[in-house]
Amino acid sequence: MISLNINNKNYQVEVEGDVPLLWVIREHVRLTGTKFGCGIGECGACTVHLDGEAMPSCQVTAKEAEGKKITTIEGLGESHPVQLAWIEDEVPQCGYCQSGQIMQASALLTVTPHPTDDDIDYAMNGNSCRCGTYPRIRRAIHHAAEKSGKGGKS
């Protein structure tokens, strides 16, 4: 039995401790906004926040996540500045990687409220988008930074 705190709710999950957190979130807790893309931490589609830090959840076991505050895309709500900027700038195409992109971007803005293009490139480089929404991701992060009332420029 593993105890997980996901989006401020406590879950007792009947699962082996070495199962990747990604699959516990998706299959046991049934929050499917967090996506499976590669399983080896290369694409970032499964990015969640662990105690506020963006992590690929396929590279964290359920056991390791115990005692940490886990936030998924569902926990971010629907009107986070990053989400609003994503809508305003029409970032998503197929949309599959976007939960991970948004989780990564929101973690970036928490640490770096005024990211430069280089900051964005560095922080977001582990999040692949096969549709190629990269130019809009850059633009939307700048817009989200502005909307958060914290300035931000390229």
Partner 1 sequence: MSWIINVSRREFCKAGALLGGGLVLGFYLPEGLSAAQQAAKVDGPFIPNAFIRIGRDDTVTIIVNHSEMGQGVYTSLPMLVAEELEADWQKIRIEPAPVDPAYNHTQWGMQGTGGSTSIRSSWEQLSKAGAVARIMLEKAAAAAWNEDVKNCRAENGFVVHPDGKRRLSFGELAEKAAQMEAPQEVVLKQPKDDKVLGTSKKRLDTPDKTNGKALYGIDIMVPGMLTAVVARPPVFGGTVKGFDDTWARKIPGVKAVVQIDRGVAVVADYFTAALRGRSALKIFWDDGALAGLDSNVQLQQYRQMAEKPGAVAAQRGDFGAAMGRAAQKIEAAYHFPYLAHAPMEPLNCVADVRPDSCEIWVGTQMQTLDRNKAAEITGLPPEKVTLHTTYLGCGFGRRAVPDSHFVSEAVQISKAMQAPIKVIWTREDDIHGGYYRPSAYTSLVAGLGADGMPVALRQRIVCQSIVKGTPFEGGLMKNGIDATSVEGAADSPYEIADFLVEYHMAPAGVPVLWWRSVGHSSTAFAKECFIDELAHAAKQDPYTYRRKLLANHPRQLAVLDLAARQGGWGKPTVAGAFQGIAVHESFGSHVAQVAEVSVNKKNAIRVHKVVCVVDCGRLVNPDTIEAQMESAIVFGLSAALHDQITFTRGRVEQSNFDNYEILRLKEMPQVKVYIIKNDEPPGGIGEPGVPPIAPAVANAFFAATGIRLRALPMTPAAIKEAVTMI
Which of 49, 138, 142, 143 lies at the binding interface for partner 1 (CB under 8 A)?
138
Identity of the residue, 10 or 30, whose beta carbon is nearer to partner 1 in the bound complex: 30
Residues 45/35, Cβ–Cβ less than 8 Å: yes
Query: In what side-by-side order are the strands of the sheet with 2-6?
Result: 9-13, 2-6, 69-71, 47-50, 53-56
Residue 11 as a binder of partner 1 (CB under 8 A): the answer is: no
Task: Check binding of 97 to partner 1 (CB under 8 A).
Answer: yes
Q: Tokens 């989780």 appear where?
A: 103
User: Which positions from 31 through 90 interact with partner 1, judged by CB under 8 A?
Assistant: 31-40, 42-43, 45, 72-74, 76-78, 83, 86-87, 90
CA angle 53, 109, 118 (to 5 degrees): 105
Please tell me the chain's helix, strand, coil percentages from 3-state DSSP, rounded to the nearest 5.
Answer: 40, 15, 45
Query: Which C-beta is closer to partner 1: that of 11 or that of 134?
Result: 134
Interface residue list for partner 1 (CB under 8 A)? 15-16, 19-20, 23, 26-28, 30-40, 42-43, 45, 72-74, 76-78, 83, 86-87, 90-99, 102, 120-122, 124-138
